[in-house]
Amino acid sequence: MRKRIYEIIEVARPGDRVSNFYDTAMLCLILLSLVPLAFKDSYPLFNVIERITVAVFIADYALRWLTADYKLRGGKVISFLRYPLTLWALVDLISILPALNLLSSGFKLLRSLRMIRALRVLRVAKAMRYSRSLIIIASVIERSRRALGAVMILAVGYILISALIVFNVEPDSFRTFFDAVYWATVSLTTVGYGDLYPVTTLGRLVAMISSLFGIAVVALPAGIITAGYMEALQKEREQTEK
């Protein structure tokens, strides 16, 4: 019985309609729970949605804890002790916490902190475990963490160097070094808000060079993830054919 529950709450295998229905239903509930965040005012319907979704999330958390030994494979007692400290268990718990003030009037601290409401956005991360495509992307990122880490270090170094240069070239346009870092980050990502910008010829030359190199730096992670994703899809396709 517990093994079947585990098979249902985990990502559906090909042909498992019950598990597939469970994954789809959980994705819909997660998206539904985020709807109230798009409104400033609170409506009674939103409270109903939150009560229903958080009750399902708590049940899902309990079922995953109950079947933790099938996933962690370290013995029942050890698995039950380890599960609350795993990454996905913490994500599930954080997804539940913002709604505890609705389930009980005793959680005054959570009710008094408006910032807790914003934690519901983390339910988007919870949705990752119910989509095979998102799981593949997550595994690709995990396998490519060294390459992505190297690109991240390169990007941070490039931002700091660009910020130092433009901060000294354009002291009147950037009041603080943080302003220069903000500008360098925006330029690196080619967003270009336009709230901070160089006005001198030398400063604009620095901006041009920064933007050109920024395109290359931003393209590196996309290429790494895309290549890894295509490789993972190919392996999955070969396994399915076998």
Contact of 123 with 30, CB cutoff 8 Å: yes
pLDDT of the residue at 142: 78
Q: Provide the token pair at 233.
A: 């899809």
CATH 1.10.1740 given to domain 2-130: no
CB atoms closer than 10 angstroms to residue 231: 12
Question: Looking at residue 158, what is its pLDDT?
Answer: 87
**Dihedral, 165, 170, 172, 175 alpha carbons, nearest 10:** -30
Q: Where do the structural domains in the chain lie, given as residue ranges?
A: 2-130, 145-241
CATH topology of domain 145-241: Helix Hairpins (1.10.287)
Q: Across all residues in the chain, what is the average pLDDT?
A: 79
Locate the DSSP E strands across 137-215. none
| In contact, 237 and 144? CB cutoff 8 Å | no
pLDDT at 237: 73
Global pTM reads 0.60
Distance CA 202, CA 62 (A): 61
Average pLDDT by stretches of 10, the chain with 242 residues: 84 77 87 81 84 88 88 79 85 74 49 53 70 73 82 88 89 87 83 80 84 80 82 74 62
Which pLDDT score is estimated for 111?
Answer: 46
CB atoms within 10 A of CB 198: 22
